[in-house]
Amino acid sequence: MNFLGRAMRFLFWLLVVSWSVALLRRLVAWMLRGAMPAQTEHDAAGSAAGPGAGADDAQGGLSARRLVRDPVCGTHVAEALAIPLREGGELVHFCSAACRDKYVSGAQRMAANG
C-alpha cells in the first residue's frame, strides 16, 4: 500500500509541475507579445502589403512567417523555404525547382512567340 501511495503522489506532482510549466510558457509568450507592439504592427502591415512587401520584412525577421504563392501550381509556401526568382524587376517565389523551371520555360516560350 505504501508503494501505491508513493506512485499516486508522484503522478500528482508530475501533473502539477507539467501544468505549471505550460502556464509559465503561456505567460512568458503573452508577456513577450505585449512587450513588442511595434513588431506586431509591422507584422500586420507586412501581411497586408502582400508578396512584394520589400526588404523591411527580412530585417524584422518576419520573412519566415509570411506565405507566398507559387504562380505555377498555386501552393502557398513559407517565404524562407521558397525558391526565389527575380524576373523583370519582380520577385517570384516557387515551391520547387520543377515549378520554377516550368515557369521559366513558359516565359521563354511566350517571349519566342512574341
pLDDT at 41: 46
| Mean pLDDT (whole number) for 29-44 | 64
Instruction: Provide the pLDDT confidence category of residue 20 given band limits of 50, 70 and 90.
Output: very high
pLDDT at 21: 95
Return the pLDDT at 40.
46
Q: What is the rounded average pLDDT for all residues in the chain?
A: 77
Rounded to whole angstroms, how far apart are CA atoms 99 and 106? 10
User: Strand, coil or helix: what is 84?
Assistant: strand
Please identify which residue in the block is written with the cell numbers 509559465.
24
Higher-confidence position of 26 and 48: 26
pTM score, whole prediction: 0.40
More confident residue, 35 or 51: 35
Question: For the chain, percent helix, then strand, then coil, each to nearest 5?
Answer: 60, 15, 25
Which sign, positive or negative, has the C-alpha torsion 91, 92, 97, 102? negative
Specify the higher pLDDT residue, 51 or 79: 79
User: What are φ and ψ of residue 46, in 5° steps?
Assistant: -70, -35
Domains of the chain, residue spans: 1-35, 51-114
Mapping DSSP to helix (H, G, I), strand (E, B) and coil, where does residue 90 land? strand
pLDDT for the residue numbered 7: 94
